[in-house]
Structure 1
Amino acid sequence: MDTNIYPCIWFKEDAQEAAAFYTQVFPNSHYLSKRDPVIEIDLNGTRFMLLQGGPAFSPSAAVSYFVYCGSEKEIDRLYAELSEGGSVLMPLDTYDWTSRYAWVQDKFGVNWQLDIDDIRSDQKIVPALLFSNEKKLAVKEARDFYTGIFDPSRFLMESPYPPGHDMPGGTLLFAQFRIRDVIFNIMSNPMPAEFDFSPGNSFVLECKDQQELDKYWEELGKEGAYSQCGWLEDKYGLSWQVIPAELPSLLSDPDRAEEVMKRLLKMQKLEIAELKNT
């Protein structure tokens, strides 16, 4: 695969505590790397970056992580552990779309959706994007936007609003798609919401070279907003970090990390040659 895509969660001051908690709670989980202020972990086959970034941002319910549990025993266990010290948005129960489901916000403010169903994929934790308020009609448009940018990509499933909702015909309530080797869920929220996408939940996009980085920086940021250090918001407000694949190794090199960071902080779009020429 040419490009790696994985979620990043912003923490005020407890990224280390969160990493220890998640790697204990989820099966087959382990640390990938630690370099201040970033911890990378693998949770049952899904890579996460935990960023200790201070008080500027916090996770939002607009991005959650959908866990396909595969058994009653596992969903009961995860529900108990993830909800302890947090809050329950939807209690563990039977719903129209599944025999057992829950939505919880854990003690760190991170949102998890738990489903008893399995998924025919090695990826058991799927990022879920919730489109609310004026964006609630844009699920199909956003699905097409993301799959149109990345190659390979494909639609996996879609479900329109059932009759009885005050929505234009064909408006999608839920869709699932794959970009590169990563599955995403995307949902429409028919209820008013006080939350929206935030840099508290972002997605890291590792690029193999400057040409690829330039392409995704331009296409993802079009009609959105560009920020510093490789960060941007796309036209729906979803945050991305568009970085060279070798950036983690550059920032882990004790002889170069300080200078690399100084140069990175002065950039919007990252320039690989300048970062490597230290």
Structure 2
Amino acid sequence: MKGQVTPYLTFDGNAKEAIDFYAKAFGAEVQGVQKFGEADFPTPPEAADRIMHARFGKGDFLIMVSDAFLGQPVNTGNNVSLAVTFESEEDIQSVYNALREGGIAHMELQDTFWNSKFAKVQDRFGVIWDLDFPKA
């Protein structure tokens, strides 16, 4: 087992939009996209363009994404957040600015008592991000 967890985000038909948004926000590369219509199993025409599996990443940073299959409900909630640690103040500021466009900052980007610059942002897709830049 690897020491890292790979988040898997599920959307209700807007996974492609989310992939493009997140890849741009993090300066990441989309590493593959497969649609349900490309799979080797019967797929209704209205599900053909939904994303069955995709991934994007940069270095060790990797996220996998899909759309739910038709009829499978997607519930947006606050029971999951994704923690990202940054190596510079410029990087955390850039990602923070991108994610809060159309989203909500639950905790503005700020210096913290635990010796970090930190923010908690819920993006326009309802995903909650914990952004952290540890200080030396």
Q: How would you bin the TM-score normalised by the shorter chain?
A: 0.7 to 0.9
Which residue in the other structure is 1:42 paired with? 56
Q: How many Å apart are 1:66 and its aligned residue?
A: 0.9
Structure 1 runs not aligned, ≥5 long: 119-278
1:216-270 Cα deviation digits (max 9, x unpaired): xxxxxxxxxxxxxxxxxxxxxxxxxxxxxxxxxxxxxxxxxxxxxxxxxxxxxxx
1:80 correspondence with 2:97: yes
CA distance in 1, matches of 2:63, 2:114: 28
CA distance in 2, matches of 1:6, 1:105: 19
Q: With structure 2 as the length reference, what TM-score do the two structures score?
A: 0.73
Which residue in the other structure is 1:17 paired with? 17
Letter matched to residue 69 of structure 1: F
Assess, with a 3 A threshold, how the Cα gap between structure 1 residues 59 and 49 changes in structure 2: closer, same or farther.
farther
Q: How many Å apart are 1:52 and its aligned residue?
A: 1.2
The SS at the match of 1:6 is coil
Which residue in the other structure is 2:75 paired with? 58
Q: How many Å apart are 1:50 and its aligned residue?
A: 1.6
CA distance in 2, matches of 1:20, 1:34: 14
Does the CA contact (< 8 Å) of 1:40 and 1:47 recur in 2?
no
Q: How many Å apart are 1:5 and its aligned residue?
A: 6.1
CA distance in 2, matches of 1:111, 1:66: 9
Does the CA contact (< 8 Å) of 2:96 and 2:119 recur in 1?
yes
Cα-Cα RMSD: 2.4
Q: Give the share of equivalent positions with the same residue, in percent.
A: 30
Which residue in the other structure is 2:112 paired with? 95
The number of residues matched between the two structures is: 117
CA distance in 2, matches of 1:34, 1:12: 16
Structure 2 runs not aligned, ≥5 long: 37-50
Which residue in the other structure is 2:84 paired with? 67
Which residue in the other structure is 1:32 paired with? 32
Q: How many Å apart are 1:31 and its aligned residue?
A: 2.5
The SS at the match of 1:60 is coil
The SS at the match of 1:10 is strand
Q: With structure 1 as the length reference, what TM-score do the two structures score?
A: 0.38
Assess, with a 3 A threshold, how the Cα gap between structure 1 residues 76 and 60 changes in structure 2: closer, same or farther.
same
CA distance in 2, matches of 1:5, 1:115: 17
Which residue in the other structure is 2:131 paired with? 114
The SS at the match of 2:134 is coil
Does the CA contact (< 8 Å) of 2:19 and 2:56 recur in 1?
no
Does the CA contact (< 8 Å) of 2:7 and 2:82 recur in 1?
no
Letter matched to residue 13 of structure 1: G
Assess, with a 3 A threshold, how the Cα gap between structure 1 residues 26 and 95 changes in structure 2: closer, same or farther.
same
CA distance in 2, matches of 1:18, 1:82: 11
